[in-house]
Amino acid sequence: MEPYSNSSSEEFELDPVFLNSRREACVIFGVWFLCMIWAVPVSYMMGYGREIVPGNVPTVFGMPTWIFWGIVCPWLVADVITTWLCFRFIKNDDLGVAPEELAQAGDAGNETATDESVAKEGV
Amino acid sequence: MSHLFILAEGSNAALITFTIYTLAVFGIAALSNRLLKSKSFMSEYFLGSRGLGVWAFALTFAATSSSGGSFTGFPAKIYTHGWVLALWIGSYMVVPICTMGLIGKRLNQVARASGAITIPDVLRDRFNSARFGLLTVVLIVFFMSFNLVAQFKAGALILKVLLNDVEIFKSFSLSVAEWTSGVGFFGSDSQYLVCLLFFGVAVIAYTTYGGFHAVVWTDVMQGVVMVVGVLILLPLAINAVGGLDRATQEMSKMTPPMRGYGVVQLDDSTSEIAQLDKEDWLKMSDGDSMRVFRVASSKTIEPGTSMVYGVELLEITTPSEVERILAGETPSEFVDGATVTRFSDPDARYGKAVLPAGKDKGALEPYTNIPIDGDEDQRVITTVTRVVFPIDDMVTIPIEIRPSRLTTEPLSEARAVVNVSTKSVKYASGADTPGVYVSGPGPSATDSVGFLSLSVAISFFFMWAISGSGQPSNMVRLMAFKDAMTLRRAIFTVALYYTCIYVPLVFIFCCARVLVPGMEAEPDRIMPEIAVYLTSGIGAAWLGGLLIAAPFAAVMSTVDSFLLMISSAMVRDIYQRNINPNASEGTIKKLSYLCTLIVGSAAMIVAINPPDFLQDIIVYVGSGLAACFLAPVVFLLYWPRSNVHGSVIGMLAGFSAHFSMYATGAFVNDSFFRPYRLLDFDPIIIGLFVSFTVTYLATLATPAPSQELVRKYFYRKVKADSQA
């Protein structure tokens, strides 16, 4: 985070909410990509163009094998990763206060309220 | 008979459930309206005062995303194409984390920083450009208006399916038919009209009166109904079929049905049978064996007739399925006194053609051969019913195109048909092939490469997870949650919710394929059909009513959100921000009520004569919105260098690229709604690729944004103690 100054000699730094959100978005995009390169190729290789013997399809828990390994398995893994992301990885950032929320709380004349709220402790 | 009784009982339960629903949503709207009196009207009416907690946020997000399609179209697709639908819907494993996590936290923060209430608000304030705000309003109103009409139609159709066998509904519809007879605007389907009126009035009323909170709370109620319904159906379905493994093994023996025209002979021409109803069952003796058919389209029988020509039929082609139907192991009752004597040749095509107006009266007898006008090959077509020539009007006739080796009779000299439209009697992919329902790409009636090719599977992985992030209706909800903790818990909740909905739905409707055969004639009815079938087995028709109301709840929760989005775009983004920034809260309040009422009523009136291609419109709108909005929103949130020029150019480029795929489809595939697939990919992928690329390049090629804007949205003041 490189701080910089403006003409009034106030110092600014990159907003941690922005930095955290961007980092989280990159990881989430990676999870999506991982799930895609698991589900689609595995399903395609195990479930497409195979010789089927009617009445004798290999199954796992009653579903065709390729559905289990290509969809259900990554789905469960995705749920585990989602749980980890939600409770361990995504930061509990302060998202600030909207002008009408401040007005509701009785604060008047808060032209600079937004800046102040963004700069609050723990943002 | 017993099955008919069960159906009627289930339908009455649906009527009771619908009544309870309607009363409940009005109660919720009244409660929500009380909240409006205690808070800032605009923020409360359109955004719920940014105060949604975990359950409200999670379930409104999930319910809005799961439109009526999840409980009508999706089950119908599973039934029609088999296990491959698990791959089609597979990306829902990451939809919650993608659609809520990719932009949720940052979008909420940016909206709070500027006080934005709508998506155009966010775009306008982030770049300080009123024109950009107006452009986004135009795009949202353009897309959403189409979608609103389509969703109204979907709601009315679902309600019609639910109330199909309710006597009060039938008699009231007949009365409406008498009142509206002679008024062409109201169309010929009075049942649809009645359902549209009920559905429309209910949704418009509670949305107008209650605003965002009414929408959210009804979403919560509807979301709970949906998941409870699915979780009850799952064990019932698996138990009824004798285990999931048995369902899979039975499906592996199945071959797709054939569809075409047949001739039905009645035992007695004075029989009381006045109509062959859609989904009636018929037999045909074929030597030592018996063939089984289901009526695919209702056919009226003229008095004194003993042969009924041109009956559209569906033939069950799986031997084990035919055996079970004939043995009475499925809910199939055959029509007494009627048998099929002739059915389309498997190599033929069937469909419709136009017989142009002529100057003379006359008639063509059934199975007369007619040439095609202007066709040098002189392909032979055959009318399958008796056709009376009109004098000054055209008539659409049912036809078969038969291979020349099957037609030795001479051609009629009377006249030639035009505008021929036909489909193969057999499925284009998977016909006569056991195993297609348990493997990829799945059978398809129209596509010779099958239902889900590899490139289409990849496209759908993009479609649900990535383009879902670009839906303004989802984005608005991301601006409404209370804090980051709410977001984190809600993502987890929605992930569990989708796991409990979509995976079980695949299991349930694979079982349904075995339990209730022959639904290809009207696959959208499979949800109510299986709900009634399964719950009647345990003597709980009320439960069937609750379950078959789930799709109604789903489409309701989608319509109310879209309705509010359009009215917020008009009141907030056009009137308050561009015409009268100093409007009093009273004026805004009246305008908001009025606008929601007018927009809803207008959509309902247009939906009286809705466009065809319902599902296609929904897909076009969803993918079009993502192609327009996702790239600019992602860049404005995460790239300090992004500017208004790059965003506008990227947005228009995404719109154009996506639209051009559809426009090209109109020329190449003869239909706007059969888009051209560049490299076999769906238009959404082309639209997103163009939109992201152009936004990036155009941003770099145009001036950087002002330092003030960058500082406002990407920096914070360094605290005094940290400077020290």
Tally Cβ neighbours within 10 Å of residue B175: 11
Q: How much is the pLDDT for B5?
A: 41
pLDDT at B405 over 60: no
In angstroms, how far apart are the furthest CA atoms of chain A?
79
How many angstroms separate the CA atoms of B596 and B589, rounded?
Answer: 11
3-state DSSP call for residue B348? coil
Q: Which of A61-65, B113-117, B437-441 has the lowest mean pLDDT?
A: B113-117
What distances in angstroms separate CA A76 from CA B178, B243, B334, B571, B652, one per listed residue? 55, 22, 44, 44, 39
> Which residue's entry shows tokens 């138990």?
B239
Instruction: Kindly report the CATH number assigned to the domain that includes residue B501.
Output: 1.20.1730.10
Cβ atoms < 10 Å from Cβ of B227: 20
CB contact under 8 A, B712 and A90: no
Chain B interface, mutation test: which of A21, A110, A120, most B Cβ atoms within 10 Å?
Answer: A21
User: Of A38-42, B281-285, B542-546, B671-675, where does mean pLDDT reach its minimum?
Assistant: B542-546
> In chain A, what residues touch B115 (CB-CB under 8 Å)?
98-100, 114
Arithmetic mean of pLDDT, B381-393: 72
Q: Which of B86, B105, B238 sits opposite A67 (nearest CB)?
A: B86
- In this structure, the answer to whether residues B315 and B368 fall within a common structural domain is no
Interface test with B, best of A1, A7, A13, A18 (most B CBs within 10 A): A18
Rounded CA-CA distance B73/B93 in Å is 19
Task: Give me the residue from B112, B713, B718 closest to A11, CB to CB.
Answer: B718
Task: Examine residue B99 and state whether it is found in any structural domain, yes or no.
Answer: yes
**Amino acid at site B101:** G
Task: Write out pLDDT tens, residues B658-675.
Answer: 999 999 988 887 778 788
Note the pLDDT of residue B44: 66
Q: Which tokens sit at B507?
A: 């299991």
Q: Same domain, yes or no, for B78 and B29?
A: yes
Tell me whether B465 touches chain A (CB under 8 Å).
Answer: yes
Gap from B609 CA to chain A (nearest CA, Å) = 41
Q: Does the distance separating the beta carbons of B492 and A86 come in below 8 Å?
A: yes
Most confident of A33-47, B300-314, B474-488, B509-523: A33-47
With an 8 Å Cβ cutoff, are A55 and B503 in contact? no
Claim to verify: residue B309 and residue B406 sit in the same structural domain? no
pLDDT in tens, B539-566: 776 777 777 666 777 777 778 778 887 8
By the CB < 8 Å criterion, does B50 face chain A? yes
Token pair 């950087």 in the structure block, residue: B704
Considering the domain architecture, whether residues B134 and B209 belong to the same structural domain is answered as yes
Structure tokens that stand for B3 in this block: 């099955």
Measure the CA–CA gap between B168 and B34, rounded to whole angstroms. 35
A64 band by pLDDT with thresholds 50, 70 and 90:
very high
Residues of A within 8 A of B112 (CB-CB) are 95-98, 101, 114, 117
Task: Kindly state whether residues B513 and B557 are assigned to the same domain.
Answer: yes
Q: Which residue has the higher pLDDT, B363 or B509?
A: B509
Å between A40 CA and nearest CA of chain B: 7
Same domain, B325 and B368: no
Q: What is the pLDDT of residue B322?
A: 93
Comparing B49-58, B115-124, B424-433, which segment has the lowest mean pLDDT? Answer: B49-58
| AA identity, residue B419 | N
Burial of B378 per CB tally in 10 Å (0-12, 13-18, 19+): exposed
> Do A15 and A118 touch, CB atoms closer than 8 A?
yes
Min Cα distance B97 → chain A (Å) is: 6
CA distance B133 to B130: 5
Least confident of A58-62, B220-224, B691-695: B220-224
Plot region of B454 (φ>0 → left; ψ -120 to 50 → alpha; else → beta): alpha
Q: How confident is the model over B230-247, as a mean pLDDT?
A: 93
Q: Which of A95-109, B36-50, B245-259 has the lowest mean pLDDT?
A: B36-50
pLDDT of residue B687: 93
Among B607, B622, B646, the domain-final residue is B607
Residues of A in contact with B723 (CB under 8 A): 11
Residue B72: phi and psi, rounded to 5, are -125, -65
Query: How much is the pLDDT for B399?
Result: 86
* Distance of alpha carbon B376 from alpha carbon B613, whole angstroms: 32
Higher pLDDT, B497 or B286: B497
Query: Closest to B484 (Cβ–Cβ): which among A93, A97, A117?
Result: A93
Among B563, B580, B607, residue at a domain's last position:
B607
Residue A50: exposed, middle, or buried by beta-carbon count in 10 A (0-12, 13-18, 19+)? middle
Residue A90 with chain B: CB contacts under 8 Å: 101, 105, 484, 487-488, 491
- Taking only the tens place, the pLDDT of each residue in B635-658 is 999 999 999 999 999 999 999 999
Q: What is the mean pLDDT of chain B?
A: 83
This complex has an ipTM of 0.84
**Measured torsion, CA atoms of residues B674, B676, B678, B683, in degrees rounded to the nearest 10:** -60
Looking up tokens 């069960």, which residue turns up?
B6
Chain B, window 401-440: residues with a beta carbon less than 8 angstroms from a chain A beta carbon: 434-435, 438-440
For residue A92, report the phi and psi dihedrals to the nearest 5 degrees. Answer: -90, 60
Instruction: Note the pLDDT of residue A116.
Output: 42
Helix ranges restricted to H, B516-613: 526-536, 541-548, 550-568, 585-606
Residues of B with Cβ-Cβ distance to A75 under 8 angstroms: 90, 93, 499, 503
B90·A44 Cβ contact <8 A? no
Average pLDDT, chain A: 82
- Most confidently modeled of A24-38, B186-200, B516-530? A24-38
What phi and psi, each to the nearest 5 degrees, are found at residue B6? -60, -40
Among B607, B631, B651, the domain boundary falls at B607
Q: Which of residues 644-663 of B touch A (CB under 8 A)?
A: none
Which residues 77-96 on chain B approach chain A with CB closer than 8 angstroms? 83-84, 86-87, 90-91, 93-94, 96
Number of helices (H) and strands (E) in chain A: give both, helices first.
5, 4
**Does the pLDDT at position B161 exceed 80?**
no
In Å, how far is B558's CA from the nearest CA of chain A?
25
A44:B103 CB<8 A: no
The helix or strand, by DSSP H or E, that contains position B420, with its residue range, turns out to be strand B418-424
Are residues A17 and B496, on separate chains, in Cβ contact within 8 Å?
no
Nearest-CB residue to B97 (from A28, A53, A118): A28
- Flag whether pLDDT at B409 surpasses 80: no
Do the domain assignments include residue B715? no
Q: Is residue B231's pLDDT more than 60?
A: yes
Q: Which of residues 221-240 of B touch A (CB under 8 A)?
A: 238
Are B249 and A50 inside 8 Å of each other by CB? no
Among A4, A18, A57, beta carbon nearest to B248:
A57
Question: First vs last Cα of chain A: how many Å apart?
Answer: 14
| pLDDT value of position A102 | 73
Domain range enclosing B573: 2-246+434-607
Q: How far apart are CA B616 and CA B682, in angstroms?
A: 13
Size of interface A-B (CB pairs under 8 A): 246
Q: How far is A8 from chain B (nearest CA, A)?
A: 12
Residues B161 and B45 in one domain: yes
Distance CA A110, CA A104 (A): 12
Which band of pLDDT confidence, cut at 50, 70 and 90, is reported for residue A90?
very high
Cβ atoms < 10 Å from Cβ of B362: 10
Distance, in Å, from the CA atom of B106 to the CA atom of B126, rounded to the nearest integer, reads 13
Whole-number Å distance between alpha carbons of B117 and B98: 22
With CB atoms and an 8 Å threshold, state whether B106 touches A25. Answer: yes
Does residue B562 form part of some domain? Answer: yes
Q: Kindly state whether residue B626 falls inside one of the protein's structural domains.
A: no
Band of the pLDDT at B457, cuts 50, 70, 90?
very high
Test B43 with A100 for CB contact under 8 angstroms: yes
Residue B84 sits in the same domain as residue B223 = yes
Tell me the angle at which helices B683-701 and B614-638 cross, rounded to the nearest 10 degrees.
30
Nearest to B424 by CA among B406, B445, B450, B397: B445
Contact across the interface for A57 and B638, Cβ inside 8 Å = no
Structure tokens given for B29? 């709207």
Distance CA B295, CA B315 (A): 9
Q: Which residue has the tokens 């192609």?
A: B627
Given CB atoms, is B36 within the 8 Å cutoff of chain A?
A: no
- CA neighbours within 13 Å on the CB side: how many for B198? 24
Is B641 a member of any domain?
no
Distances, alpha carbon B667 to alpha carbons B636, B673, B677, in Å:
36, 11, 13
Under 8 Å between Cβ of B636 and B240: no
Percent of chain B with pLDDT over 70: 85
CA atoms within 13 A on the CB side of B122: 23
Q: How confident is the model at residue A34 (pLDDT cuts 50, 70, 90)?
A: very high
- pTM of the predicted model as reported, rounded to 2 decimal places: 0.84
> pLDDT value at position B67?
64
**Is B644 within a domain?**
no
Is B712 near chain A, with CB under 8 Å? Answer: yes
Q: Which residues of B554-573 are buried (b: 16+ CB within 10 A; e: fewer)?
A: bbbbbbbbbbbbbbbbbbbb
Mean pLDDT, rounded, for B681-698: 93
User: Is residue B712 pLDDT above 70, yes or no?
Assistant: yes
A36 and B489 within 8 Å at the Cβ level: the answer is no
- A71, A56, A7: which is closest to B440 by C-alpha? A71
User: pLDDT at residue B580 above 70?
Assistant: yes
Domain boundaries, chain A: 4-92
Say what the pLDDT of residue B293 is.
94
Q: How far apart are CA A116 and CA A96, in angstroms?
A: 9
What DSSP letter does each residue of B205-233 carry, written as one string?
HHHHHHHHHHHHHHHHHHHHHHHHHHHHH
Structurally, chain B folds into a number of domains equal to: 3
Q: Amino acid letter at B682?
A: D
pLDDT surpasses 90 at B397 = no
B427, pLDDT greater than 80:
yes
In whole angstroms, what separates CA B717 from the centre of its chain? 49
If asked whether residues B233 and B182 sit together in one domain, one would say yes
Check pLDDT > 50 for residue A109: no
